[in-house]
Amino acid sequence: MSLFVVTTKKKELAPVVYTPTVGEACLKYSEIYPFLNPPGAPDGLCITLDDLSRLDDILESYKLRSGQTPDITVMTDGSRILGLGDLGINGMPICMGKLQLYVASAGIHPHRTLPVTLDFGTNNEAYLTDEHYMGVRKKRPDDSTFYEAVNQVLFALRRVFPDIVVQFEDFSSAHAFGLLKRHRSQLACFNDDIQGTGVVVLAGLINAFRKVARTTNLRIQDHRIVFHGAGSAAIGVARQIQRYLETEHGVSEEEAKRIFYFCDSKGLITLDRGDTLAEHKVDYARKDNQGQQYRTLEEIVSYARPTALLGFSSVAHAFTSKVLSLMHQLNERPIIFPLSNPANKAECSFKEAMKATDNKAIFASGTAFPAYIDPETKKKYIPGQGNNMFVFPGLGLGSILSKTTSVSDDMLNSAAKALANSLTPEEVERGLIYPSLARIREVSSVVATAVIEQTMNEKLAKIDQIPEKQIKSFVESHMWSPEVEPSQK
């Protein structure tokens, strides 16, 4: 019954199943766990370092017990949950929530999903001394141990479930990039924080750039983007935009990188800043600052003169009224995307952005904000929400149905274009840059169709070739829906 309600009331219940409610569920998971399921009904699979020698037995036991072979797993180690930090085993609800969205939004059968938490320890001091914390109360292992352990888990999954799709979720930035680098060419896997976020933000930016182009002659490659935050999500977005510019607009790698200005807690990221930069930051560090360093966001915006300001910092209200007003001084239609989750970590609210820009901001956030009504004109403005659920269900469904051997950059690019082009004429007329959540299953089928088409173009699909015009009906015919007995309605 619960799946029927979630599937039929997706827009209303998405904030309950996922952000912002899932953040609260994670913080309290060790406390509420006994009340979540009846005895013997697990939430998912927790794997510790002590389990590595018997992984195949554990997975075979799960397969036997469930009577199903999972098509997709969402996997986390709980090291960077949303903007909440290291939650260890308490990150399990993230995997559960994501998979419920796969079910509701993409029609993947619930019995063919597998939430996995790698309980390798936690560096959260509060949990290490909390007797009620359910996870392993040890410090996290070194990198060598971590990567070898994850490698064993992934290849055990592939042995037991040969066609399984793996979604990495909320790993620390360094490990998120490291896992992709090691495994993306070996199995069908993707990281939602890096690639899913990259796809959904790119889709929103494509539509935002189209809106700007209606009143200016600004080409897409002439935009300048300031990233407030330089973690895995921010870098993933830059890489996706860069790929799009290179493949769709013929822009060189160097030209594409030139539009990005990254800042972290120390200011604008430059090669001569004097500190040791993480590997993923070096690629986008500025080298044209002529020795000048810019510390505050206001200084960086004044220097870079961006057309778009994207927030990935989890620093609430980092986009001050001064910064927002400055963005409006520089642009008739400033693009403001405070993308940090949950809402209390967002860099600004929709109301703050609209008030500071005379209602001209092209806005999208990670977590939904309420509509804004101008107190003078009484006009109602609807905010955009760059929620990853517009992308990962369709990307996962397309990967499952095609039995792809990997998730390529061009598959991601195809997903972004499909999402950007999925708006109805009425949604475009209303000024939206993302489709309505009420249409999420339709949008997921559009994304999955584009993904499958690309897997066939690249010869990554293990299924027989499907005529292009038949792919969408093939997708829709494989989307599961719950059925409720008349007595339960």
Task: Indicate the annotated binding residues for a divalent metal cation.
Answer: 169-170, 193
Cα separation, 225 vs 229, in Å, equals: 12
Cα separation, 13 vs 10, in Å, equals: 5
Q: Please name the residues in contact with 23: beta carbons below 8 A apart, sequence gap of 6 or more.
A: 81, 82, 84, 341, 342
3-state DSSP helix/strand/coil percent for the chain, to nearest 5?
50, 10, 40
Active site residue 18: yes
Binding residues: 80, 169-170, 193, 341, 387
Residue listed under structure tokens 């939206």: 432
Q: Please name the residues in contact with 396: beta carbons below 8 A apart, sequence gap of 6 or more.
A: 72, 102, 106, 108, 165, 167
Paired tokens of 449: 């169709």
Residue ranges with strand state E in 160-277? 165-168, 189-191, 225-228, 260-264, 267-268
The pair phi, psi for residue 129, each rounded to 5°, is -110, 5
Marked catalytic residue, from 10, 98, 281, 345: 98
Label the pairing between strands 260-264 and 267-268: antiparallel
Cα separation, 108 vs 124, in Å, equals: 34
- Structural contact between residues 207 and 201, judged by C-beta atoms closer than 8 angstroms: no
The DSSP symbol for 110 reads G
Active site residue 261: no
Marked catalytic residue, from 18, 62, 127, 284: 18
Paired tokens of 368: 């939904």
Q: Please name the residues in contact with 177: beta carbons below 8 A apart, sequence gap of 6 or more.
A: 194, 232, 235, 279, 280
Strand, helix or coil at 362? strand
- Cα three-residue angle 66-70-72, rounded to 5 degrees: 145
Cα separation, 322 vs 314, in Å, equals: 19
Residue ranges with strand state E in 172-284? 189-191, 225-228, 260-264, 267-268
The DSSP symbol for 357 reads T
- Could you tell me which of 442, 466, 327 has the C-alpha nearest to residue 394? 442
Residue listed under structure tokens 């109360």: 137
The pair phi, psi for residue 19, each rounded to 5°, is -65, 140
- CA distances to 175, 201, 245 from 249, in Å: 32, 18, 5
Strand, helix or coil at 83? coil
Active site residues: 18, 98
